[in-house]
Structure 1
Amino acid sequence: MSLDVNISEPDEFNCTELHSCIENVAKLNNINDFTYHVEFACGKGENFIANVFRVEIKDTLDCDRKISVIIKTLVNTTRQELFRQLHKREVKAYEEVLSKFEILQSKLDVTNRIVLPGCILSDMKRGNEVLILEDLVSKGYEYETKVNKLKNLEYEQVCLVLRNLAKFHALSIVFELNDKENFIKLKCEFKDVLYQETFLDKSKLRNYYTNCYEDSIQLLDDLEARTKLQYVETKLMQLLRYYTSPRTFNVLCHGDCWINNFLFKQKDNITTDLCFLDFQAMRYSNPATDLVYFLFLSTDSTFRCKYMKDILSVYYESFTTFLKLYDIDSNSVYTKDSFEVDVQEMLPFGVLITLIELRIVTTFEDKEISESTLHLDQCISNESNEEMLLKIRLDDVVKESVLNGTLDRLCEQMKLLN
């Protein structure tokens, strides 16, 4: 065995436990003598919670034999202790939910399945938090950079996301009907974590959410809307908890459904498939939370105004068709009317998410994100293209929310909270 470390290996990766993990991956693939190369799997700073590396392992005895894996770890980061709970959530998602999804899909033709990264190894022990996943980039999947390059997603790309998201949600129903006892236990374990008081206090994400929200409303042109949103801020966390809490109908949701958490596959410049990534925020909640989260962060008001009815039909048709493969009538679990009502009721959540998360979506790939960079006064004096895009997108969403009454509904909901 040879641990020949490439000189480009990031400092954050220099950890005995991780080297040991790579050795274990090699052994699982019957590779006894190897070298490996390490690089960041995404731009440094793009992932606020974990370090994400791509590792290529090469068999020194057979130069044509190599494997590529993704390693996510909290090791050697200042956020290790703060975000252990999210790491544990993602490991549990892979081990107890996604593994079950894969088994449930095994009866289906490959063309009907959703693609999920395989989990090779995981560890939740304190100081050794690691998750090793199949590298789907090596299989032709890639990130879509249109949004942070100031371009909109194509209509067909949005439909592809919604079709797959519908299947993801439908698998939760299949899981529940096939293994009720286990599912009841899991849905209790997958209560939302991101907006809960204990986690907010421990992780310092409360400051992150409020700083982003405050900076966003300072950019708005509509002074009346700004005043209303400043009023909403006094109960921001309570509102986030309200919208993500379980409702009449719920499934295991992705929880962080935006463009950087998908990989797309293309053929002849046409997007043909996608894969979901990053399940640290998986929660048991209403499926409309995922749809609204995605649509507000990945499309603009012109797109939503023109296509909302169509894309909701795309989602529900996929949901219905997928459940039929398991002899389940969608109307017996979740009617289209109920689904559309839930989406409408969840639109205020989309406004809140936009004000909090849009800055990251509109930040270029080579710019590192951290708590300290999420303040308006650090960039307002030299407004960049991305800052201009942020302002345009924020004004766009707020104008839409004023015209369709969503902002007023958000204010009304705030008044109803204790």
Structure 2
Amino acid sequence: MQVEEQTYKVEKFCGYDKITNKPEDKLYPRVKNAIKKIIEDEEFTKYRVKVRAIEPDGGNYLANLYEIDILDEAPNGKKKINLFIKQTVGADNLYGFIDIEDAYLKEVFFYTDVSVIFNKLQNEANIPSNERFRNVKCWPESGGEAIIMENLTKDGFKTPRRKEITDLQFAQLAIQQIARFHSLSFVIQKKMPEYFEKKIRNVKTVLHLNDKYIEICTKSAKAAVSHYDEDIRKEIMNDLPGLIDTYFKYMNEAVTSVNCLCHGDYRLNNILGKEEDGETKEVLAIDYQLIFYGPPVTDLIYFMYTSGGTQFREKHERNLKDLYRNTMNDFLSHYDIDIEDVFPTKVFEKDYEFMRDFGFYCSFVFLPIFFSESNMLEPGTDLLKQDICVDKSFPEKIAGLYDEYKRYKNQNYNKN
């Protein structure tokens, strides 16, 4: 395979201590063979391949990332293919509580199986382009060692910066997309019951509750509450074991009457956005390694609490919840499915409030990791060996969170 060599000023990347000018050397043989097959299938006769390693900046924990451009150099050749590759970090059990192989198989399953069905169902129903759930094209020929996708950054899509808080316009488009994602799960359940029972209902989370996971959660939560007074710190840390237990309960048990295929990690860094004239016009979700079958409100709450602060929720939560419901209602109507038959409004509202502690868990445990320095989040890094150091703006970003949490606790919801 012809490869253009490039030099990158990176102090440490992909577990290597030395600067390299050949990022292609780190591609696994199966991945290189997959790229060759793509070249053959696309009938390139004369071509040039450019490989670029991407510095992760703390937004990716499970893979090493690459951009690959295949350029047609035949006379009058105009063809080009831009690929984005997520290559496994080579660990069987990252951090001690995530099965890497299972995570990759789940993402491959989504891109090469579920997303194909999603597209088929949307084509059959003639869903207008502006109302569709959009997927990234994926090539499956990598032997389970990598995910090879079209590189949408070449089409103007980009990932929000990891430490940003979402703006309303981006949030609205993201909520509509997750509503369509959940809706398609309900459509499969109604229109393809055998496939649903065999392939969707049995999708389990790749996360495992063990001592190492609890240790990391505790470490992260301590960083989250470090700026609070001592009494508040003690209160939240005393509540943490219960929050961890309920989080895993929601991810692993049928705690609600309505369940569907869930994204599992629906936050800003896993949503691409495309802007025109400074405004977000389109978004699409990526990174399906944590998909699972469970309560759809988990995705909605996860987004609300990891992508927006307390003030954002106080101002926009009600309208965004309505947008989620209206989008789902409109989407399901294309399939003659009544939203009240698959996800009644009363159930949705009850589930959302019942599972709001899921959001506080995400805030106290995940936000400190999302907002930490990027060097502790390089693929394969052992979080227990790193300090979780949030930046100076972190207290401002979670301003009001404790008061919101206290109000929730005082509601005394009956969870029995």
Partner of 1:112: 131
**Deviating more after overlay: 316-325 vs 84-93:** 84-93
Provide the secondary structure at the position in 2 that maps to 1:189.
coil
Q: Does 1:121 align with 2:140?
A: yes
- How far the C-alpha of 1:124 sits from its partner, in A, is 4.8
Task: Please name the residue that 1:86 is paired with.
Answer: 103
Larger deviation, residues 162-171 vs 69-78: 69-78
Q: Is 1:388 aligned with 2:392?
A: yes
> How do 1:52-201 residues align onto structure 2 when only pairs under 5 Å count?
52-62=65-75, 64-74=78-88, 76=90, 82-106=99-123, 107-125=126-144, 129-145=145-161, 148-149=163-164, 152-194=165-207, 196-197=208-209, 200=210
- What is the rounded CA distance, in whole Å, between the counterparts of 2:100 and 2:166 in structure 1? 31
- SS at 1:234's partner residue? helix
Give SS of 1:275's match: strand
TM-score w.r.t. structure 2 length?
Answer: 0.85
Q: Is the 8 A contact 2:179 2:324 kept in 1?
A: yes
* Aligned sequence identity (%): 24
CA distance in 2, matches of 1:340, 1:16: 50
Kindly state the Cα deviation for residue 104 of structure 1 after the two structures are TM-superposed.
0.9
SS, match of residue 72 in structure 1: strand
Alignment pair present for 1:2 and 2:16: no
Conservation of the 8 A alpha-carbon contact between 2:70 and 2:80: yes
Change (3 A) 1:409 1:290: farther
The 8 Å contact of residues 249 and 286 in structure 1, kept in 2 or not, is answered as yes
Give the residue type in structure 1 aligned to 2:163.
N
Give aligned pairs, total: 393
Change (3 A) 1:211 1:409: farther
Q: In the alignment, is the contact (CA less than 8 A) between 1:71 and 1:131 conserved in 2?
A: yes
- Deviation of 1:171 after TM superposition, in Å, equals 0.6
In structure 2, the partner of 1:399 is 403
| In structure 2, C-alpha distance between the alignment counterparts of 1:314 and 1:282, rounded to whole Å | 23
Deviation at 1:224, TM superposition (A): 3.5
Equivalent-residue separation in structure 2 for 1:394 and 1:375 (angstroms): 25
Report the alpha carbon displacement of residue 44 of structure 1 after superposing the two structures with TM. 5.0
Stretch deviating more after TM superposition (308-317 or 107-116): 107-116
| Residue number in structure 1 paired with 2:222 | 214
Asked if 2 retains the 8 angstrom alpha-carbon contact of 1:36 and 1:55, the reply is yes
Per-residue deviation at 1:89? 1.4
Shift of 1:35: 2.1
1:190–1:283 contact (8 Å) kept in structure 2: yes
Deviates more, 1:262-271 or 1:240-249: 240-249
The answer (yes or no) to whether the contact 2:91–2:100 under 8 Å persists in 1 is no
Asked if 2 retains the 8 angstrom alpha-carbon contact of 1:169 and 1:251, the reply is yes
Q: Tell me, yes or no, if structure 1 residue 223 matches structure 2 residue 230.
A: yes
- The aligned residue for residue 265 of structure 1 is 274
> How far has the Cα of 1:237 moved from its partner?
3.9
Could you tell me how far 1:169 is from its partner in structure 2? 0.6
Partner letter of residue 291 of structure 1?
A: L
Matched, 1:248 2:276: no
| Structure with the largest fraction of helix | 1
Q: 1:233 to 1:153 in 2, by over 3 A?
A: closer
For the Cα contact (< 8 Å) 2:200–2:293, is it kept in 1? yes
Distance change in 2, residues 1:25/1:11 (3 Å)? closer
